[in-house]
Structure 1
Amino acid sequence: MSILSLGVRDRLEATFWERHANPWSAGTRILAYPILMYAIYRRDAKLLTATAAFLAVNPVLFPRPKRTDNWLSKIVLAEAEWLDAGNKTMGLDYPNVLNVINIPVTIYAFASAVRRDPVGTALGTLGVMVFKLWWTDAIVKKTGVTGEGPKVPESAE
């Protein structure tokens, strides 16, 4: 099926996932979280605004990748497949329990940054990243996404 035969919403969603599968998109999004926590810790409104704006446009900022057979692309493609199959991201089942556990870890990281507790902010931020990457790695394994096929049709420019 060609992307052109899809409805507008489906085309936008396909374009979103195609572009977000660029390893620069996934990689910089992961690295933006510590910057976000640093901005909160430092009370740096400009950095906070810039980071939030970057996170908002990040999934469509980079072009569709030529290759997706790398870990960063696979975690994005697995997430798209996971959601497309009707799976949820929160729950007491594995791997979704990792996201549930991540809620208090995120609150702890945020509260530590607000309190300007450097150790708590660093540990909380690390914890958030560990649980998120653990979840994405688990759904790569559950979905079996390899990043190598079938090829997504080129979007109309």
Structure 2
Amino acid sequence: MNAEFRETVWARHSNPKSGWSRLAGGFVIVAALYHRKWRLMALTILFLAINPVLFREPSEESDDWMYKVVRAEERWTNDGNRLIGLGYPQILNTVSIPVGLYGLCAAYKQKPISTVVFSLVSQALNQWCMKEIIDYYEKVDSH
């Protein structure tokens, strides 16, 4: 992916509507799997795949949480850091993966409490990681 295209994707993805709808989309996938709504699940996966380019680039910086998440994620990866790993805060994302997969398995087995708990914990771990990355750049930028 060339640099200009990558910047365009990040810029459009920084629209808070992109981030919030991706977050919601993850929960729609879990619900679709739980209720055996295969078409809904397929359409949601397609939506998530094209989501980062669906929305217009915001006209200005925003204090919206998802705007900050995407811009921090962009800086983090551009600085050569990985989002998954054993260091902190990447370990939070790393742990969120098997937790989320267990939530999907629970949804498939139609175990409502496990589905909800593991799906929420997975998302909480991911958002905690993002918060730490945002905090890191806010601290770096303030010096």
TM over 0.5: yes
Which of 26, 36, 50 lines up with 1:33 in the alignment? 26
Which of 45, 55, 60 lines up with 1:62 in the alignment? 55
Counterpart CA distance in 2 for 1:40 and 1:119 is 15
Q: Tell whether 2:85 aligns with 1:91.
A: yes
Q: Secondary structure at the match of 2:80?
A: coil
Displacement over 6 Å in runs of 4+? none
Counterpart CA distance in 2 for 1:107 and 1:26 is 21
Moved more, 23-32 or 102-111: 102-111
CA contact (8 A) 1:21 1:68 kept: no
Partner of 2:132: 138
Which of 99, 110, 118 lines up with 1:116 in the alignment? 110
Partner of 1:102: 96
Could you tell me which runs of 5 or more consecutive residues in structure 1 were left unpaired when the two chains were aligned: 1-7, 146-157
Q: Tell whether 2:9 aligns with 1:16.
A: yes
Could you tell me which runs of 5 or more consecutive residues in structure 2 were left unpaired when the two chains were aligned: none
TM-score normalised by structure 2 residue count:
0.92
Q: Secondary structure at the match of 1:111?
A: helix
Report the residue type matching 1:48 in the other structure. Answer: M
Moved more, 21-30 or 97-106: 97-106
Instruction: Return the structure number with greater helix share.
Output: 2
Partner of 1:4: none
What do the CA deviations read for 1:93-148 (whole angstroms, capped 9, x no partner)? 11001012112211210110110101111111111110111111111111228xxx
**Larger RCO, structure (CA 8 Å, separation 6 or more):** 1
Corresponding residue pairs, total: 138
CA contact (8 A) 1:110 1:121 kept: yes
Counterpart CA distance in 1 for 2:60 and 2:36 is 39
CA contact (8 A) 1:22 1:68 kept: no
What do the CA deviations read for 1:48-90 (whole angstroms, capped 9, x no partner)? 0110011001101000011222221011000000000000112
Aligned-residue CA RMSD (Å)? 1.3
CA contact (8 A) 1:92 1:100 kept: yes
